[in-house]
Amino acid sequence: MPKATAFANEVVALVFNATSIANIAQNNATSPAANMRFALHTADPGVGGSQTTSEISYTGYVRKDVLRTTGGFPAPTGGIISPAANIDFTASTGGTGGSVTFASIGLDTGTAGRILYYGAVSPPIAVSNGVTPRLTTATTITEA
């Protein structure tokens, strides 16, 4: 059974904007996560993967934080949300590099944290020395 559009928007706003859903989910924990953490992958991490599954490895790479607010992600429409600004990762200063084909969103900084959302990056990003990988504001996250 699919979600109604209004509820899909509420679920996305709960996750990405830290907005409560009346009578269902509150965001009043003592220390809710302040950021969503984006990771880059060289292959599909899959539904059972973690953020370290096929995570790209180059000198200088770290996951990128985006605030869980409407400043980080504008209000969703039709169960779809996008970042408010481009997400620029650190530039490669060496190492293996590779081709970024997937991105994931989780809450952990560098551990094998769970993936909340993931999807293909199109076109893929070829990472080599001096390249700064970027996910743009056209990147969409959909609540299915």
For the segment 24-43, the average pLDDT, to the nearest whole number, is 84
Q: How confident is the model at residue 29 (pLDDT cuts 50, 70, 90)?
A: low
* pLDDT band at 109; cut points 50, 70, 90: confident
Residue 9 belongs to domain spanning? 5-142
* Domain count within the chain: 1
Q: How does pLDDT run across 117-136, given as a tens digit for each residue?
A: 999 999 999 999 999 999 99
The whole-model pTM stands at 0.90
Does the pLDDT of residue 28 top 70, yes or no?
no
CA proximity to 136, closest of 84, 77, 91: 84
